[in-house]
């Protein structure tokens, strides 16, 4: 089962990596590679690829931080899909599929795949609510960096963050709404991790806290054997 899950993650990661490389090559040819790497979409998708490869390389038990990192990446990709659909893409694009294969992979396939993986894979240890704060750290840093860099270069990756396209008042109002959405979705993602599969008996063999059915069976056999061997010698035998 774990092999199939890892294979599925790597398959999606390969598609995502191909889309990222394709976009990066096109941006490099146009002299826009730095701008290409500055998009939240590309950064969160790259994080998905790195995490998928890292997870596949962890043959044995995964460290305690792995579930939190997986949740963070799933959260970023879900927000990528939501923000793109509501604030970036034209309204008529939501029901269309002629947006190029890289757009489909980065804005639709990856967010859905990351969300399903987060819902279906049980976590190795009880989650702590404080991880929500860590999840929100990167989006806040991205926002501040975008504004500082935009103030210097005059370029912003997204129009809703660009005060020269509207005004600082409009940008700040939109940012407040987006931040509220980020916090709300982060809380939801924290709560729904692994909810579509029962943790008991369905843990990833490589995750902490997992129990092998075979080990339980052998333990039961040993316990039964000890019980039989220690039966009272004075027990009356019937003919």
40: which 2 tokens?
Answer: 């939240």
pLDDT for 122 equals 84
Nearest-10 crossing angle of helices 65-83, 40-57? 150
pLDDT for 138 equals 97
Q: Which distant-in-sequence residues (6+ apart) come within 8 Å of 153 by Cβ?
A: none
Q: Which residues of the chain have pLDDT under 70?
A: 1, 59, 197-239
Nearest to 108 by CA among 174, 158, 41: 41
Residue at token pair 């500055």: 38
pLDDT for 205 equals 40
pLDDT for 202 equals 42
The secondary structure of residue 165, as a DSSP letter, is T
pLDDT for 231 equals 42
Helix %, strand %, coil % for the chain, to 5? 70, 0, 30
> Nearest 5°: phi and psi at 64?
-60, -30
pTM for this prediction: 0.80
């Amino acid at each position: 089962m774990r092999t199939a899950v890892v294979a599925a993650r790597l398959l999606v990661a390969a598609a995502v990596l191909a889309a990222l490389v394709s976009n990066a090559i096109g941006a490099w040819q146009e002299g826009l590679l730095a701008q290409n790497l500055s998009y939240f979409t590309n950064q969160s998708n790259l994080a998905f690829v790195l995490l998928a490869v890292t997870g596949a390389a962890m043959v044995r038990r995964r460290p305690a931080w792995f579930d939190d990192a997986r949740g963070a990446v799933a959260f970023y990709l879900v927000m990528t899909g939501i923000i793109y659909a509501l604030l970036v893409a034209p309204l008529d694009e939501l029901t269309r599929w002629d947006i190029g294969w890289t757009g489909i992979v980065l804005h639709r396939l990856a967010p859905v795949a990351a969300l399903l993986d987060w819902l279906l894979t049980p976590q190795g240890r009880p989650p702590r609510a404080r991880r929500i704060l860590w999840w929100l750290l990167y989006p806040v840093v991205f926002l501040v960096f975008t504004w500082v860099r935009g103030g210097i270069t005059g370029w912003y990756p997204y129009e809703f963050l660009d005060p020269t396209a509207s005004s600082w008042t409009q940008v700040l109002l939109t940012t407040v709404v987006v931040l509220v959405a980020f916090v709300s979705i982060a809380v939801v993602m924290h709560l729904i991790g692994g909810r579509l599969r029962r943790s008991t008996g369905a843990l990833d063999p490589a995750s902490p806290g997992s129990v092998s059915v075979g080990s339980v069976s052998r333990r039961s056999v040993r316990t039964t054997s000890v019980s039989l061997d220690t039966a009272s010698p004075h027990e009356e035998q019937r003919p």
